[in-house]
Amino acid sequence: MTTTILITGASSGLGAEMARQFAAGGHDLALCARRTERLEELRAEILAAHPDRRVEVAALDVNDHDAVFRVFHGFTDALGRIDTFVVNAGLGKGAPLGTGRFDANRETAMTNFVAALAQVEAAMEIVRSQQGGHLVMVSSMSAMRGMPRTMTTYAATKAGVAHLVEGLRTEFFGKEGYDFTVLYPGYIASEMNDGVAAAENKMMVSTEKGVAAMVAAIEKKRGVAHVPALPWAPLSVVMKHAPLPVFRRLI
């Protein structure tokens, strides 16, 4: 069955690849990001491969909170209904706390948490009004536990946005037609992590493979998914419960 999927941060990386894979799976798309030229290129690419798909695009800086609401409602007006909202836009910037880079950590917190909150608010206005829908939050494996150094703020924001969706799942538990998914990606190649350390690269998977695991979890409407499942599902347990000396060695 054709459904319509809205993806933020869709101009590159995981967002763009999700768009490609969802289109190949028969879904219509609402794509938004800051870089409209990339969105137009992606739209043309998708329509060339799948001319029967509907692909709407719009410019959006998620830190412009009023624009988030305008764009989400604009997509709904254009497409009639949005079945799935994927909150994907994010930032990987950060610095160790107390080292004079509050500006970097504030930017990460504003983009990854406050802007994500705006996206959830806008999505849920529509979900409530249409009496159903699927909200997907792209979190991170770093949300499993407090992380050190440059990852501290980033990990905290990813834990925070996961709890937004967990709270909604609790609120709507047992109500037919309301679905909530939190994705915890591990190391998936993307523009955001081009500079990761070689040790981390040993567990890095291609964008295509990693996103395929994300798309499968979304289509199955799983509540929680560590993706790809191997090695990240078992590692999530280790990350949460390992004694601190062990955890420190792991990271």
CA-CA distances (angstroms) from residue 105 to 91, 101, 148, 232? 10, 7, 13, 26
What type of residue is 102? F
What is the CATH code for 4-250?
3.40.50.720
What type of residue is 19? A
Per-domain residue ranges for the chain? Answer: 4-250
Q: Across-strand partners of 33? A: 59
From start to end of the chain, where are the E strands?
4-8, 28-33, 55-59, 84-87, 133-138, 178-185, 224-227
Residue 183 CA to residue 157 CA, distance in Å, equals 14
Catalytic residue among 154, 178, 184, 187: 154
Q: Is 242 exposed, middle or buried (0-12, 13-18, 19+ CB in 10 A)?
A: middle
**pLDDT tens per residue, the chain (251 residues)?**
789 999 999 999 999 999 999 999 999 999 999 999 999 999 999 999 999 999 999 999 999 999 999 999 999 999 999 999 999 999 998 999 999 999 999 999 999 999 999 999 999 999 999 999 999 999 999 999 999 999 999 999 999 999 999 999 999 999 999 999 999 999 998 766 555 544 456 789 999 999 999 999 999 999 999 999 999 999 999 999 999 999 888 88
Catalytic residue flag (residue 187): no
What percent of the residues of the chain are helix, what percent strand, and what percent coil, each to the nearest 5? 55, 15, 30
Please answer whether residues 89 and 15 qualify as being in contact, where contact means their C-beta atoms are separated by less than 8 angstroms: yes
